[in-house]
Amino acid sequence: MKVAVYPGSFDPITKGHLDIIERSSRIFDEVIVSVLINVDKNNLFTTEERVELIKKVVKPYKNVKVESFNGLLVNYMKEKQSNVIIKGLRALSDFEYEFQMALMNNKLDPSIETVFMMTNSQYSFISSSSIKQVAKFGGCLKDLVPDEIIKDILNKFRGD
* 142 has catalytic annotation: no
Residue 27 CA: distances (Å) to CA of 63, 117, 149: 11, 11, 26
Closer by beta carbon to ligand PNS, 70 or else 151:
70
State how far the Cα of 12 lies from the Cα of 44, in Å rounded to an integer. 8
In the complex, minimum distance from the CB of residue 69 to ligand PNS, in angstroms, rounded to a whole number: 7
Query: Judged by CB under 6 A, which of 4, 20, 33, 36 binds ligand PNS?
Result: 36
CA distance 13 to 147: 11
Q: Which of 24, 68, 82, 128 is catalytic?
A: 128
Q: Which is the catalytic residue, given 15, 25, 50, 90?
A: 90
Q: Taking CB under 6 A as the rule, does residue 146 contact ligand PNS? A: no
Our answer to whether residue 132 is catalytic in this structure is no
Cα Rg, the chain, nearest whole Å: 15
Count residues near ligand PNS (CB under 6 A).
Answer: 9
Stretch that binds ligand PNS, among 6-14, 51-59, 60-68, 152-160 (CB under 6 A): 6-14
What SS3 class is residue 126? coil
List the one residue out of 122, 132, 124 whose CA is nearest residue 152. Answer: 132
* Residue 132 to residue 10: CA distance in whole angstroms: 12
Instruction: Check if the beta carbon of residue 106 is closer than 8 Å to that of residue 75.
Output: no
- Single-letter code of the amino acid located at 2: K
Question: Which residue among 32, 105, 112, 153 contacts ligand PNS (CB under 6 A)?
Answer: 105
* Residue 73 near ligand PNS by CB under 6 A: yes
Catalytic residue among 26, 41, 59, 158: 41
Footprint on this chain of ligand PNS (rule: CB under 6 A): 7-9, 36, 72-73, 101, 104-105
Residues with a catalytic annotation lie at 17, 41, 90, 128
